[in-house]
Amino acid sequence: MPTNLYRFQGPEGTIPYQHYLIDKNNTKLTKIATALMKNERCDGRDISAHRNLCIKTGIVTQAKGSAYVEKGHTKLLCSVFDPKEVPNKVEYAKTGELQCEFKFATFSCRQRRNYTRDSEERQLCNEFRRAIEPAVCRGEFANFEIQVNVLVLENDGSVLSTAITAAGLALMDGCIPMYDMIVASSLGIFKNTILVDPTYDEETLCLSWTEDEENRGTVMLAYMVSLEQITEFSQNGSMDINMFPEYVQLLIDQNCKINKLVQSAAITDVIGHFESQTTD
């Protein structure tokens, strides 16, 4: 993405002033670690509880389909645009392509982000594309491509799983043929404690390096509930392989719960659409 020369750029590495009004990061992480040793979380949630989920579709009027999702303080917007012919395509492709873009707004993180894409955004974009590709009936769009854009407005953890859930809603809102609705959830693992839907600080703690051989890391799983198919699985950190069946099953159970909320929101939107047409 090119730099906007008509906008005030601000100094590189800018940090919001609110960051200096709270305790230092190390002190905050120490408090979180102390609370987790007692199976407690600083935000008052149970270790197996999700944050509140807010869903709204049809936000971007210029897009074919869009969805705005809030999960706690994590807020993002996903837009899907009309299929278009692949430019400069010589060979005929029987299946369509997904062109994805994953971008953090400059103000979305605690430290100011650049306008240009960095390595983290490229990695998240690749994982995001791999997760939603199996859910789309790409055979219906031979030699065409579908643009899917994600803009993160505020990052407070579990941003990739939230983006995948929002993409499923945006594709549904844009009437894109799909095999099944796709949802995703994430876990944070700190020693032997498994945290559902970790915040940014909890993710930082779970990914912090330690000399002790402890189980630490984050796990994300994208899932199609009706087909019982895992579309993407990513893991960061160091964890005992014996924990694998436990947290995979836990992620599947959490995705089933999220799927019910997504289906409820989709039914509400469809009912509202037909009611508005009847009124008109």
> Would you give per-residue pLDDT tens digits along the chain (280 residues)?
455 555 555 555 555 555 555 455 567 777 888 877 777 788 888 888 888 889 998 888 888 999 999 998 999 999 999 888 877 766 777 888 889 999 999 888 888 888 888 888 999 999 999 999 999 998 888 888 899 999 999 998 889 999 999 999 999 988 899 999 999 999 998 887 888 999 998 888 888 766 666 788 899 999 999 999 999 999 888 888 888 888 899 999 999 999 998 888 888 877 877 787 777 6
Half-sphere exposure (Cβ direction) of 149: Cα atoms closer than 13 Å = 16
- This prediction's pTM: 0.86
Round to whole Å and give the CA distance between 59 and 45.
Answer: 30
Q: Of the candidates 199, 196, 194, which has an alpha carbon nearest to the alpha carbon of residue 255?
A: 196
Q: Which residue ranges form the domains of the chain, and what is each CATH number?
A: 42-86+94-279 (3.30.230.70)
